Amino acid sequence: MPDDRDVAVLGVGMHPWGKWGRNFVEYGLAAARAALADAGVSWTDIQFVSGADTIRNGYPGFISGATFSQALGWSGARVSSAYAACASGATAIAAARAQILAGLCDVALVVGADTTPKGFFAPVGGERKDDPDWLRFHLLGATNPTYFALYARRRMELFGATEDDFAAVKVKNARAGAANPNARYRQEVSVEEVLASPMVADPLRLLEICATSDGGAALVLSSMDFARRHGRSAAPVTIPAVSTVTPRFPQTVIEMPNFATDSAVAVGAVDGPAFRRSIAFAAYEEAGIGPEDVDVAEVYDLSSALELDWYEDVGLCKEGEAERLLRDGDTALGGRIPVNPSGGLSSFGEAIPAQAIAQVCELVWQLRGQAAGRQVEGARVGVTANQGLFGHGSSVIVTG
Amino acid sequence: MTGAKTRVPAVEGWFTTDADGPALLGSRCRSCGTYAFPRQTFFCGNPGCEGTEFDDVPLSRRGTVWSYTDARYTPPAPYVAADPYVPFCIAAVELAEEKMVVMGQMVPEVTVDDLAVGTEVELVVDVLYEDDDHQYLVWKWRPVAGSGGSGA
């Protein structure tokens, strides 16, 4: 792997996920302080602050980089604030990494945090008849689980996935999450309990759809040179690749919040992988590795069924083989390629701007051997995968 | 007295309401032929095309189900739900000629048991919600009798 594209992860930190309704800045601040302490870097040494924005907490959320900087105490650091829906965290990581690789700064702080309302995510308020995110609720009653369920049902019909498979993903993730002190849900569940939970969007049940949560996550990233001079470890965990790709035309899988896909009339099918698959593969290419090199993955299980799609889209198996991987126990802790050892969104719920950062935190703990109770033994290479509304790819490779 | 209410589209310019054959109103790029729904007026999504002129075109009235689900819980506002709430199905429907997939609610009497990937459906216009004076209309999909599911 080309070292000249590596940045070091000096520190990681999280505020536990939950549902308290407190100010999101409090969660971000706690995560930032934890990451700085983990790195052994003082706040006033941070040269660049990269915030992942939240759109549900008023103006401070839109300029989160400055908001977190103010909470830590104005230091004169340069700043960026980025919104990319679920991919906001990866976009904030990408901004910090680019600053470091360009030589514009040596050490950066990445922070994302959110406070979420109860129940289904709804669009931002007001009557906005030119906003597809507003219109899909108004004209279709299409919530986020509607889209998750469309993918799940198609998986059942095309590849023979069963309701038991979807429940088994939840059981696996709940077991891992029970061992994670930062997870919101820390109770194991049985297949029977999952299948007894209310149907929300057929075939997905309440326990198979990720909740909306409060939480915060942060990273301290630096140049390899800074890490050698100031880092606590002679061989820190590194990030050799960050993928923030967009789809390629025509995008023929229906995507939230759209009413329709692209039309493939003019150009036929896209030459190459579909969008979700292109996300991690762009990261593999940048890192000079392939999916066969991966020891552990954190993927965006907005639903239990979607985790199975990700097995294929990050290249852990061929299309249509995810159920076999699951049934063989390959993706459970102790299996050949554990997926979501953190417990995933299943155990955390979604704190949107913090989530992609939290995925990296988990991989760093895994690669350092610090994931007590859920450790993937001997993990050296990890991949995250995630996708933001409207077409923001998000994948980070972590090596250690 | 629903008969006395004025029927108006819930959104302007997205579908036609001809009694003998309502249709979604899409756009077609004059340069490359790419369709779009809702109508596109100032860009073509094809990266190899810089077309700026578009024709409004009715989209195919029939398609096949790409996937489907239902909404067991009341969607949040700005959805206007009936009280008491009645769950409904939503389908993503493949249009063969336009080579695209379009979402829509299914007509009220359809359940997921009536649907399968590949079920043939046709477009209808139906009431989305109403107030004292108006019925607000939207497009919905209805299974074509004899195709896959039970029909409706």
- ipTM field: 0.94
- What residue type is A200 in one-letter code? V
- Listing DSSP states for B3-62 in one string gives GGSEEEESSTTSB---TT---BEEEEETTT--EESSPPSS--S-TT-----EEEEEPPSE
CB contact under 8 A, A254 and B92: yes
A271 touches chain B (CB under 8 A): no
User: Residues of A with CB below 8 A from B88's CB?
Assistant: 141
What is the full DSSP assignment across A228-244? HHH-S-SS--EEEEEE-
Q: A181 with A34: CB under 8 angstroms?
A: no
Tokens of A361: 């935190």
Q: What is the per-residue pLDDT across B29-51, written as a single tens digit (0 to 9) for each?
A: 999 999 999 999 999 999 999 99
Low-confidence ranges of chain A (pLDDT < 50): 1
Cβ A153–B68 below 8 Å, yes or no?
A: yes
Question: H/E element holding B89?
Answer: strand B88-95
A 83-122 → B contacts, CB under 8 A = 119-120, 122
Least reliable range by pLDDT among A4-8, A231-235, B105-109, B110-114: A231-235
Which pLDDT score, from 0 to 100, does residue B152 have?
36
Q: What is the pLDDT of residue A54?
A: 97
Residue B4 Cα, gap to closest chain A Cα (Å): 23
- Selecting from A202, A259, A264 the residue whose C-beta is nearest the C-beta of B70 gives A202
Best mutation site among A130, A134, A140 for testing chain B: the one with the most B CBs within 10 Å?
A140
**pLDDT tens digits, B61-83:** 999 999 999 999 999 999 999 99
Give me the percent of chain B exceeding a pLDDT of 90: 89
Whether A391 has its CB under 8 Å from any CB of chain B: the answer is: no
CB B52 within 8 A of CB B78: no
pLDDT of res. A271: 74
* Whether B76 and A120 lie within 8 Å, measured CB to CB: yes
Contact (CB, 8 A) for A307 and A345? no
Q: Any chain A CB within 8 A of the CB of B88?
A: yes
Could you say which residues from 89 to 128 on chain B have a Cβ atom under 8 Å away from some Cβ of chain A?
90, 92, 97-105, 112, 116-117, 128
Query: What is the distance in angstroms between the Cα of A189 and the nearest Cα belonging to chain B?
Result: 23
Question: What pLDDT digit, counting tens, does each position of A253-292 carry?
Answer: 999 999 999 999 998 887 778 999 999 999 999 999 999 9
Of A383, A378, A296, A284, the closest CA to residue A337 belongs to A296
Asked if the Cβ–Cβ distance from A252 to B92 is below 8 Å, we say no
* A201–chain B Cβ distance below 8 A for any pair: yes
Which residues in chain B are closer than 8 Å to A137, comparing Cβ atoms? 75-79
pLDDT band at B151 (very low <50, low <70, confident <90, very high): very low
Is the distance from CB of A145 to CB of A303 less than 8 angstroms?
yes
Tell me which of A139, A157, A253 to substitute to probe the interface with B (most B C-beta atoms closer than 10 Å): A139
Q: Pick the residue from chain A with its C-alpha nearest to B9.
A: A139
> Which residues, 6 or more positions from A58, have their beta carbon under 8 angstroms from its beta carbon?
none
- Residue A127: what pLDDT? 84
CB pairs under 8 A between A and B: 147
B80 touches chain A (CB under 8 A): yes
User: Contact A1/A287 with Cβ under 8 angstroms?
Assistant: yes
Best mutation site among A135, A156, A262, A265 for testing chain B: the one with the most B CBs within 10 Å? A265
Neighbours of A51 (CB within 10 A): 30
- Give me the pLDDT at residue A213, please: 97
* DSSP-derived secondary structure for A79-121: EEEE-BTBTHHHHHHHHHHHHHHTTS-SEEEEEEEE---SSS-
Cβ-Cβ contacts under 8 Å for A196 (sequence gap 6 or more)? none
Specify the pLDDT at position B3.
59
**Which pLDDT value is given to residue B147?**
62
Which helix H or strand E contains A37, and what residues bound it? Answer: helix A24-39
- The 10s digit of each residue's pLDDT in A107-120 is 999 999 999 988 77
pLDDT of residue A203: 98
Q: Residue A166: CB partners within 8 Å, gap ≥ 6?
A: A152, A194, A203, A204, A205, A208, A303, A304, A305, A308
